[in-house]
Amino acid sequence: MDRFVFLTFDGLSKGAVLAAFALALVLIWRAARIVNFAQGAMAVAAAYAGYSVTSATGSYWLGFAAALVGGLLIGVVVERAVMRFVDHSSPLSEVIVALGLVLVVQAVLGMVYGNEFLPAGTPFSRNALSVGDVPLLSRYDLFVFGAVLLVLLGLALLFTRTSVGLRMRASAFAPEVSRLLGVNVGGMLTLGWALASAVGALAALLVIPTELGLHPHAMDLVFVSAFTAAVVGGLDSPPGAVVGGLTVGLILSYVSGYLGSDVTPMAVLVLLLAVLLVRPGGLFSSTVARQA
């Protein structure tokens, strides 16, 4: 029973990170109808930037801020320099270009930092706090929950309460009409990429210390899990991404706790297939027919 409770909280903490990462995917999907397969590599690049700043200054928080700013910039660069020029008539070309980006980013990271695991520090202890005799959550898990919650609230406020958010939604929903009404659609697209990339960077910062460490390929499995989470929730729905993330986090935590951690990739595959075959639109899909 203790183990079950521990795995549940561990899964929720993992799930929060997956939710953030899935949210980043959903943001770009809603803005540009692209599943950003380069999200993982971009997030790792931002995390490396944070690592450099942290090791230069000795302050975790400076590195944290640097990674977030780095994430924003990477999103802008990727959208402005690459994605803008991709032919959008076939969904294949976007995916293929994103995969090319993955290769480039991972190779550059490997050249600059080397292909070994670098230790990533945490600002808070990862030792679990116990209630009675049952170990529940570490301070770090609480930090993860807080950070993800803050991002969720921030994004919700941005999209529903501000004029920028309204313009972003408008340009995703009806680009031509928005352009006629004076919305800078291209700029909104860039902003969407930047925000998504920063959220992805945050997720990478939060998850990497709980895994083996910083590595160019550190986010490969996280990306696949987050994609599953986004699909579980329906690629179109931000609340769906959060619920999907928590669900996938819990399932993966139980699987790796009871069956062994090397089963996790297969569990992700089975889960993804099951969701796509049973309910392809996801649990929170609003559209009747899936078009993409």
The contact set with another protein (CB under 8 A) reads 34-35, 37, 82, 85-87, 90-93, 95-97, 99-108, 110-112, 114-115, 217, 220-221, 224, 227-228, 231, 235, 260, 262-266, 268-269, 272-273, 276-277, 280, 290, 292
Nearer to another protein, 69 or 276 (CB): 276
Nearer to another protein, 145 or 220 (CB): 220
Task: Report the nearest approach of another protein to the CB of residue 2 (Å).
Answer: 26
State how far the Cα of 287 lies from the Cα of 279, in Å rounded to an integer.
13
Residue written as token pair 């020029």: 85
- Alpha helices (H) along the chain: 2-32, 39-57, 60-77, 91-113, 139-161, 163-173, 175-180, 185-207, 220-233, 238-258, 264-278
Task: Report the nearest approach of another protein to the CB of residue 185 (Å).
Answer: 21
Task: Report the nearest approach of another protein to the CB of residue 15 (Å).
Answer: 18
State how far the Cα of 202 lies from the Cα of 190, in Å rounded to an integer.
18
State how far the Cα of 235 lies from the Cα of 15, in Å rounded to an integer.
17
Asked if 164 contacts 158 with a C-beta cutoff of 8 angstroms, the reply is yes
Task: Report the nearest approach of another protein to the CB of residue 115 (Å).
Answer: 7
Nearer to another protein, 104 or 134 (CB): 104
Beta bridge partners of 130: 135
Asked if 216 contacts 106 with a C-beta cutoff of 8 angstroms, the reply is yes
Nearer to another protein, 60 or 113 (CB): 113
Task: Report the nearest approach of another protein to the CB of residue 35 (Å).
Answer: 4
Query: Any idea what DSSP says for residue 137?
Result: E
Nearer to another protein, 86 or 170 (CB): 86
Nearer to another protein, 106 or 171 (CB): 106
Nearer to another protein, 38 or 68 (CB): 38
Task: Report the nearest approach of another protein to the CB of residue 181 (Å).
Answer: 30
Residue 254, CB-side half-sphere exposure with 13 Å CA sphere:
10
Task: Report the nearest approach of another protein to the CB of residue 203 (Å).
Answer: 17
Q: What distance separates the 2 farthest-apart alpha carbons in the chain?
A: 63
Measured in degrees and rounded to the nearest 5, phi and psi for residue 214 equal -80, 130
Task: Report the nearest approach of another protein to the CB of residue 131 (Å).
Answer: 34
State how far the Cα of 120 lies from the Cα of 55, in Å rounded to an integer.
10
User: Which is it for the CA torsion 110, 112, 116, 118, positive or negative?
Assistant: negative
Nearer to another protein, 16 or 230 (CB): 230
